[in-house]
Chain A
């Protein structure tokens, strides 16, 4: 019973953390991008201000249809709950229950929901955005497949909590296969988050924002929040597995249990910011891919996890 209660507390903590950190990360991204473009840029909390503005605006929709009204809430609620599944060593939340495949497929579910919305509206730009999004998902799946299989083969488990703990052991992270797979995880987080080289689905200049075009007010705000949460969740995968885990393992020797979880959380947030900064720099430097030109790099990128998988077979 105690354990259950503890888990519930951690779930709530993680949800609140996610809800709070995600917009800050976005603010960080915008700030760094502005700095690279030699501007002052918006304050770090700007995304919060944007969201609160959106929530206070009167929504204008093309139809007053329950599907359109409910979908942003579904997307937001699902991702909010999913943010409690962020894998952190010694911080049990939903990560003890979730596995990598379910996490990625639930994220996919939200993407599909957006795609369906895009197809439901009679706006040709939304339709085009949805189609692109669907095709991008398909093409990138090869990469995801190899990554998941590689991790499963090397670590013998896909449970998020298990992975978080296992990654900390030197015998696991000091392997060549793990090196490649970690790189794949970083690339996965980057591409799935739809940062600029790869945001063909909701491109502003080409499809006017894709499926999000017709949404406004709090509905668009919810979608925006959901997108930010998705980026946060995806970012947490490489950060916590590759960066936080080994440190947590090392700290475990010195710090007792209850305090360790808090320290891990702190380290996690720190590394989130660091990684986000790196991502923002990359994002600011690259323009968007044209949709048919993007397929080749997406497929070629699969070589990296494939090498990781092969290394895993060879036992390295």
Chain B
């Protein structure tokens, strides 16, 4: 019964994506209508995807289609992530894409968004590595086109090209190489078969694992392969940035844990490397985010940092798999919880930065004013999103962070406590830049010119993540994550022997924690509402007497933490230079230099020499000079050659003659054939 429901929902999802493309195509003459039609179907598709995956996560069943597409609760979690993000951005995009009206291309946009979401959903449920890589490449290609939407701007074109070449070098090439090597060694790419066949002493296997690792960490944006992220994510339209940061980089996590760890038996030392990379990402991403003044760049660096937070418990889970399965499952659950939380609040935050662009025309934190005057939802979204990012109670971000700390602290060896200490010590850096992000939204004075007011679609698009963050914070759904992780590690038994609910680990009645904190905040809100400041008298800002401009904030967000940034400037500048050289200047020199053309010109010259000789030969034989009469002996040969040459020239001059000749020869041959077969 449930299977039929799941199947129907899957069919509904696929057809909705197809309808999105078709409806947008049909209406392509009207920009707004076309985008709205396409995005509405994307909304429906995301909704069915969400329902489908929720059913699978809650009931714990797994299903397979033709052996090529298998869904279980681990993949379903990623489908939930994609579905939630798809819901928000489709609603949001219906109004937001107005600002790109001048660029046109409504149908292309719907096509690309549908294909993007569809390919990500499909790659999460692929049971075959070839299909996985197939959909991965479609995801990359569509994201390239979406990132370069405003290619007229210099920085967007540059970012897109950087992204394109980076993905070619660090994603396509390693993936294709890895997959072919696996296929060549084991003869099959079905993940379920590979799991049983892989033996650990094969060189091809080791090489493919390394290749796949490079591809997945590059896509996830882990240090040091993160350099494309801060340029590419801000360059895209804001609802696409949400998808990129909120969903696409999670596909790297899916590759590392849903494909590699589950089926390909990688060497565990790789996960130690992942751990180190994750810790470096946390640090580096936070430091750079603190010094950024552009909202979207800040959020992009924040993504680099947060993916580190996601990868730390996940890698520890892989590391502890050998000796403590319960701890491993707990760590996996914590990592998945943070992955889930991050995708929701990062989506929300990018949508709010889109609000800045929509309303004020710029996402520079210094140039935007209090957006609460235009839209209360936007302000609430910024506050709740940033507080989730900072990991403050009682929102989902806090629950997820707490679960990470608690699960790491369960580890018995000193390694775990040091890592926990590092992670806890680095968390206020996140707080710093989330405060910086919130700063302009809270400013009580200062008006800037408003270009557009925010309407219902954008509001609705932002409300979905806000409600999710608050609700999932209140009702701790952590039990779901522990169920998923236990099913991941022992697919046979689907009931978790570990306590369902990580908060249990810390305290037996842990379910009440978020409720208590929320209740206290609600009490405060209630009291504040009762108070309402009825008898408040307003007066000037007090600054010991000297006059400050009345409607202006003197502190720009970019001035925050200036000393802090100064501390890290040398290191950041150095690494920036290194990247510029490696990634941009040297490849440009090679690609656009004369080396390649010189080689080809040499071969071209050789080629030309040979061709000239052949041509000369041909010309010689069609224009034969007169011979003297005393060379009668060769006259017959001469006549034949001349006839040949004349015929050739005739053929060149008159196509009809050629044609006639061809027909004649054809008929002769047909006659011969018929003759032969009769005889």
Contact = CB atoms under 8 A, between A and B. Distances in A.
Interface of A: 58-78, 80-82, 94, 96-99, 101-102, 105-106, 108-109, 112, 115-116, 119-125, 127-128, 131, 134-135, 137-138, 141-142, 144-146, 148-150, 152-153, 157-162, 208, 213-214, 217-218, 292, 309, 312-313
Given A138-B432, A142-B425, A120 B442 contact: yes
B406 interface: yes
A127 B425 CA distance: 24
Nearest to A305: B421
Nearest 3 Cβ contacts at the A-B interface: A70-B528, A74-B524, A77-B524
A76 B429 CA distance: 26
Contacts of B449: none
B506 A158 contact: yes
25 contacts: A58-B537, A59-B533, A60-B536, A76-B527, A78-B521, A81-B519, A94-B516, A96-B508, A97-B513, A99-B513, A102-B513, A102-B517, A105-B392, A112-B392, A119-B442, A120-B444, A122-B552, A123-B543, A131-B555, A135-B564, A141-B425, A149-B420, A153-B417, A158-B409, A213-B542
Interface of A is mostly: helix
Contacts of A144: 424-425
B350 to A, nearest CB: 21
A77 B516 CA distance: 11
Task: Please indicate which of the listed interface residues B506, B523, B563 has the most CB atoms of chain A within 10 Å of its own CB.
Answer: B506
Contacts of B521: 74, 77-78
B538 A73 contact: no
A99 B409 contact: no
Given A62-B539, A67-B442, A124-B543, A119 B435 contact: yes
Contacts of B387: 109, 112
B537 A159 contact: no
A223 B614 CA distance: 96
Given A60-B538, A99-B507, A158-B506, A127 B555 contact: yes
Interface string B550-569: 01111100001101100000
B543 A125 contact: yes
Interface in B507-525: 507-510, 512-513, 516-517, 519-521, 523-525
A19 B544 CA distance: 34
A218 B544 CA distance: 22
B626 interface: no
B531 to A, nearest CB: 6
Nearest to B506: A99
Interface in B558-604: 560-561, 563-564
A94 to B, nearest CB: 6
A75 to B, nearest CB: 7
Given A124-B543, A149-B417, A69 B555 contact: no
Contact of A122 (B444, B525, B538): B444
A11 to B, nearest CB: 10
A60 B541 CA distance: 10
B325 interface: no
Interface string B100-135: 000000000000000000000000000000000000
B442 to A, nearest CB: 4
B646 interface: no
A119 B533 contact: no
Nearest to B395: A109
B83 interface: no
A76 B526 CA distance: 12
A65 B446 CA distance: 14
A109 B393 contact: yes
A23 B208 CA distance: 66
A78 B524 contact: yes
B618 interface: no
Nearest to A136: B428
B676 interface: no
A61 B444 contact: no
B422 to A, nearest CB: 8
B429 A138 contact: yes
A149 B444 contact: no
A233 to B, nearest CB: 13
Interface in B471-514: 506-510, 512-513
A60 B539 contact: yes
A69 B439 CA distance: 18
B554 A124 contact: yes
A61 B444 CA distance: 12
A19 to B, nearest CB: 14
B450 interface: no
B513 A61 contact: no
B540 A62 contact: yes
Given A70-B524, A70-B528, A138-B431, A127 B508 contact: no
Contacts of B561: 131, 134-135
A208 B545 CA distance: 13
Given A64-B536, A77-B524, A121 B421 contact: no
